Structure 1
Amino acid sequence: MAPFPSPTKKWHDTTYPSLSPTRPELSAKGKTILITGGGTGIGAATAHSFAAAGASRIALLGRRPQPLHDTKTSILQTYSSVSVSVYPTDVTNQSEVDTAFSDFLANTENNKIDILVSNAATIGPRDPIATVNAPAFLASIQQNLAGSLHIAQAFLRHAAPNATAISINSSAAHLNFAPLFAAYSVAKLAVFRLWDSFAFGSPDVSVFHVQPGVVDTDMNKEAGGVEAIGFSDDVSLPATFNVWLASPEARFLKGKFLWANWDVDELKANAKDLEASTKLNVGLVGWPFQDAAWDFKPKVGNW
């Protein structure tokens, strides 16, 4: 039984055959990948999974050099044919982000990125609205938004045709877990809208928003997630789910907010319905947006 409400009957807490990076349908052969927060946890595991899927080049961005190099070494021990580059980068620093993207793509025949995994984030203060330190609260939102904005802008300059952007978000964007996570919830909902706006202006890029599961990462430990909830998901689940999202099989879910725990075979069985509806979108519950067949075509500059 799923610990949370789920649109699929099957609920997963670890990877499974349909998400296997070795499936030919999920091949990343020849693809160029860039992952932020790539030194540890979900980012590192995602890099391993894309290497297993045959990716050609992978860039790992993160604040701490040693975890980045450790992840690079561990990937190359198993997948010697992939090129792995590391860039110690603070994603809240725009010049560092721009330099990392430029350096990664310099002197390459095709200076484009096929798949972006935006994974870096910060929890922020965990105090209720009544007592939280206002500057700290606002600063944490600023940090999460700045990091996503800088990555999105750099990616726009270097995105390959029909590229994929995967934003690792959180269920905190659409669920109120507790008053102690107000800063994080506000930040992640804002990050969702940022990437949603990115998708609105870049229809050729497939954008996905992902709740990766309850994974025992450093950030999860800081938030007390596994301990508070009482169970955890294996890091292999979001790592391989990200590879699946980057494949043609998942294209019908572009723009959706997805939980890695949901069964992809059941989602695929409902592909036509999901693609044609607002199901799994973040919006106003009960507003018949899709049924109204509203043809919304804003004229830029005439607002």
Structure 2
Amino acid sequence: MAEKTPFPSPTKRWHTTAQPSASHTRPELSAKGKSVVVTGGGTGIGGETARHFAAAGASRIALLGRREQPLLDNKAYIKEKFPGVEVFIKSTDVTKESDVEEAFSQFAENGKIHVLVHSAAAVGPSKDFENSVGEEYLEGINTNVAGSFWVARSFLRHSVPDAVVVAINSWGSYLSVNNNFASYCVAKLATYRLWDTVAILKPKLYIFHTQPGVILTEMNLKAGGAESFKNIKADDVSLPASFNLWLSSPEARFLKNKFLWCNWDVEELKAQAKEIESTQKFSIGLVGWPFENAN
């Protein structure tokens, strides 16, 4: 469903639910034969993303998250709807190296990983910079960075060379509107740079950074983020889930290493492919620096 954009957008059409061009029913988006890992895979964006990959025919899906029951519930849902999909679950604290490596190595025993959707995150303290408790502020940053660090390390050990990574991020990584959730915003910029470094290390990988939309996840509601959306319509969780699936397909290769909003129209992005691929468009960097002439 295309609607009037409430935010600045490079596409005229703005979506709040799954786009037709990102539908799992399209054969171009088939995930047949793919092994997929989803962190935060029990509920919210991660949980719904796993369901979209299952609908697209993924052979194997790993659901990782701290709480076991949501993982079990999502596994049951997927197995009922898509009985041919192998679903692996593992209670995993992504901030702990041993947890992450154990989960990835166990899943990869039956084949290398083709797609990673890193959805696990923590919002941190919901206080402004001046009134935040130092230890809480720094812990919020460390939790998010550590999660991406250990996941990235294990993923590199167990993935195919040209695997896809969808690193779910936030507009807060590049846009300072206020200093609420300051710890979270600092962390998201740090995790962007972490995955950007991985892209330099492994140039054959297809890494994408996304702003998933305004999604009322458990984390969002717990943090009181819903209060900020009084004048903005929340997006359906199918929006980022379907966009994540599309990013894993060959159609999205031209967006490699880019930062994208899941609300942006897929067909309009495809029409801009040549410009996007050949410039720093949709990248985080220094405004005005003539990067193309730097070499």
TM-score computed with the length of structure 2 as normaliser: 0.97
Contact residue 165 and residue 206 of structure 1 kept, 8 A: yes
Tell me what 1:46 maps to.
49
AA aligned to 1:190 is A
TM superposition shift of 1:177: 2.9
Counterpart check, 1:264 vs 2:257: no
Distance in structure 2 (CA, Å) of the matches to 1:166 and 1:228: 26
Contact residue 215 and residue 232 of structure 1 kept, 8 A: yes
Counterpart check, 1:142 vs 2:142: yes
Tell me what 2:213 maps to.
213
TM superposition shift of 1:128: 1.7
TM superposition shift of 1:182: 0.8
Tell me what 1:161 maps to.
161
AA aligned to 1:279 is K
> Can you list the C-alpha shifts for 1:67-111, whole angstroms capped at 9, x where unaligned?
0000000011110100001000000010010000111122x2xx3
TM superposition shift of 1:239: 0.3
> Can you list the C-alpha shifts for 1:245-286, whole angstroms capped at 9, x where unaligned?
000000000100000000010000010000000000001111
SS at 1:55 equivalent: coil
Tell me what 1:31 maps to.
34
Work out which of the residue numbers 267, 281, 288 in structure 1 matches 2:290: 288
Tell me what 1:94 maps to.
97
Tell me what 2:106 maps to.
103
> Can you list the C-alpha shifts for 1:50-77, whole angstroms capped at 9, x where unaligned?
0011100000000000000000000111
Tell me what 2:114 maps to.
114
Contact residue 18 and residue 265 of structure 1 kept, 8 A: yes
Work out which of the residue numbers 9, 12, 37 in structure 1 matches 2:12: 9
Distance in structure 1 (CA, Å) of the matches to 2:6 and 2:223: 19
TM superposition shift of 1:122: 0.4
Runs of 4+, deviation exceeding 3 Å: none
SS at 1:209 equivalent: strand
SS at 1:284 equivalent: coil
Tell me what 2:152 maps to.
152
SS at 1:178 equivalent: coil
Distance in structure 2 (CA, Å) of the matches to 1:131 and 1:232: 29
Contact residue 214 and residue 225 of structure 1 kept, 8 A: no
Distance in structure 2 (CA, Å) of the matches to 1:9 and 1:288: 28
SS at 1:180 equivalent: coil
SS at 1:22 equivalent: coil
Distance in structure 1 (CA, Å) of the matches to 2:177 and 2:25: 36
Distance in structure 2 (CA, Å) of the matches to 1:248 and 1:274: 16
> Can you list the C-alpha shifts for 1:174-213, whole angstroms capped at 9, x where unaligned?
1113211110000000000000001011101000000000
Distance in structure 2 (CA, Å) of the matches to 1:194 and 1:179: 23
Q: CA RMSD in A?
A: 0.9
Distance in structure 2 (CA, Å) of the matches to 1:196 and 1:222: 30
TM superposition shift of 1:287: 1.1
**Higher deviation after alignment, 39-48 or 227-236:** 227-236
Contact residue 126 and residue 181 of structure 1 kept, 8 A: yes
* Count of residues in Structure 1 that have an aligned counterpart in Structure 2: 290
TM superposition shift of 1:225: 2.8
Identity %: 55
Distance in structure 1 (CA, Å) of the matches to 2:225 and 2:26: 32
Distance in structure 2 (CA, Å) of the matches to 1:228 and 1:142: 25
Tell me what 1:196 maps to.
196
Distance in structure 1 (CA, Å) of the matches to 2:153 and 2:224: 32
TM superposition shift of 1:222: 2.3
Q: Give the gaps of 5 or more residues in structure 2.
A: none
Tell me what 2:123 maps to.
123
TM-score computed with the length of structure 1 as normaliser: 0.94
SS at 1:44 equivalent: helix
Distance in structure 2 (CA, Å) of the matches to 1:200 and 1:222: 36
Distance in structure 2 (CA, Å) of the matches to 1:270 and 1:238: 21
Distance in structure 2 (CA, Å) of the matches to 1:17 and 1:140: 37
Distance in structure 2 (CA, Å) of the matches to 1:9 and 1:94: 43
Tell me what 1:236 maps to.
238
TM superposition shift of 1:226: 3.1
Distance in structure 1 (CA, Å) of the matches to 2:208 and 2:63: 20
SS at 2:52 equivalent: helix
